[in-house]
């Protein structure tokens, strides 16, 4: 059974700092990995999707990497802003590629 | 594009009552998912539809839970009878051609409280 772990559970940084969020998964036979953002009282917003054949994806200040063999992904946020404050979740899809297994998320607070 | 639309946003009901949650997926999306989110268990997939057909309902916790998708633009999740342990946020999500790893689009959820 796939398990997804995100460390740390919470992170507080000053504005402008570069930061890395970590995600690990136990079964490397994944189809893709997605990073989501969740604001309080809202649904999840897809940030980046990495196919299993890819190593990384970039969108603006965000860069996500994937190392299938070690079961790890990182989300790098450059020059953090208070508006980046949210919970960030990673999710992996397995052999039946529709079924996403989610981590419990990292609560990020960027202080002005 | 209005995104995935869920109603109601909040539902408070008494134990034993029937609860119906509603979802309108993004037009053109042929995959629809119902998830439940709690602090203890995080996000859990309840059921997945493809082209209006239930493909996997193994996540539905009990027979008290049922889901339907009568057409491509509407789905319901029903709990009958409801219990306090059903209290959670229920999300609907949709995507296109999930087999190609399309990103998932979530609604804002329905916060259910069963007293």
What does the pLDDT profile of chain B (115 residues) look like in tens digits?
Answer: 689 999 999 999 999 999 999 999 999 999 999 999 999 999 999 999 999 999 989 999 889 999 999 999 999 999 999 999 999 999 999 988 655 567 889 999 999 999 9
Beta sheet of B19-24, edge-to-edge order? B5-7, B19-24, B74-79, B65-71
CB contact under 8 Å between A42 and B103, yes or no, is no
SS (H, E, C) A12-78: EEECCCCEEEEEEECCCCCCEEEEEEECCCCCEEEEEEEECCCCEEEECCEEEEEECCCCEEEEEEC
Structure tokens at A34: 């997605």
Q: Which residues of B touch A87 (CB under 8 A)?
A: none
Greater pLDDT, B11 or A93 = B11
pLDDT of residue A33: 93
CB contact under 8 Å between A102 and B43, yes or no, is yes
pLDDT of residue A91: 94
Q: Which residues of B touch A106 (CB under 8 A)?
A: none
Best of B21, B104, B105 to substitute, by most chain A Cβ atoms within 10 angstroms, is B104
Structure tokens at B32: 């629809």
Sorted by sequence, the CB contacts under 8 Å of residue B39 that are 6+ apart come out as none
Question: Distance between CA A84 and CA B78 in Å, rounded?
Answer: 35
pLDDT of residue B103: 84
> Which chain B residues have any C-beta within 8 angstroms of a chain A C-beta?
4, 31, 33, 42-43, 45, 48, 50, 55-56, 91, 93, 98-99, 101-109
Of A100, A72, A77, the C-alpha closest to A88 is A77
Does A1 score more than 90 pLDDT? no
């Amino acid at each position: 059974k796939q398990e997804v772990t995100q460390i740390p559970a919470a992170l507080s940084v000053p504005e402008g700092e570069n930061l890395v969020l970590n995600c690990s998964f136990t079964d490397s036979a994944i189809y893709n990995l997605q990073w989501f953002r969740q604001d309080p009282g809202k649904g999840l917003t897809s940030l980046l999707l990495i196919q299993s054949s890819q190593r990384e994806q970039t969108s603006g200040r965000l860069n996500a990497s994937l190392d299938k063999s070690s079961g790890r992904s990182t989300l790098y946020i450059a020059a953090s802003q208070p508006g980046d404050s949210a919970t960030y979740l990673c999710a992996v899809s397995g052999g039946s590629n529709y079924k996403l297994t989610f981590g419990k998320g990292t609560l990020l607070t960027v202080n002005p | 594009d209005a995104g995935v639309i869920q109603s109601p946003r909040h539902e408070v009901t008494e134990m034993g009552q029937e609860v119906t949650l509603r979802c309108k997926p993004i037009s053109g999306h042929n995959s629809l998912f119902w998830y439940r989110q709690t602090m203890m268990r995080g996000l859990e997939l309840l059921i997945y539809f493809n082209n209006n057909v239930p493909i996997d309902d193994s996540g539905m916790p009990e027979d008290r839970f049922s889901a339907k998708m009568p057409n491509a633009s509407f789905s319901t999740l029903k709990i009958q009878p409801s219990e306090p342990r059903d209290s959670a946020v229920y999300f609907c999500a949709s995507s296109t051609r999930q087999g190609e790893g399309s990103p998932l689009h979530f609604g804002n959820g329905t916060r259910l409280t069963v007293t």
